[in-house]
Amino acid sequence: MSAKLKLFLILILSIFATAGAGIFITQRQPSTLTVEASDRQQQQSFAVQQSQELLSFPERSNYKTIPLESINSVLQGSDPANLALNAFEDITSAAKTPKVEVVYPQHNQALVTITQIRHSDRNSVNAIKYRVEMTTFGRSLLVSSPPVWQIVWAGSQVQCWTGSHPQTTLSQKCR
Q: Alpha carbon of 170 to those of 47, 55, 116, 167: distances in Å?
A: 17, 19, 15, 10
**DSSP for residue 100:** E
Per-residue pLDDT in tens (0 to 9) along the chain, 175 residues:
788 899 899 989 899 888 877 777 766 655 444 444 444 555 555 454 545 454 456 788 889 999 999 888 888 988 999 999 988 876 655 556 788 999 999 888 999 999 988 766 666 677 889 999 999 876 666 667 788 899 999 999 988 766 655 555 554 455 5
pTM above 0.85, yes or no: no
- ∠37-171-85 over CA atoms, to 5°? 90
Alpha helical stretches, state H, 29-134: 39-56, 80-87, 89-92
- ∠151-152-156 over CA atoms, to 5°? 85
Is the Cβ–Cβ distance between 151 and 83 less than 8 Å? Answer: yes
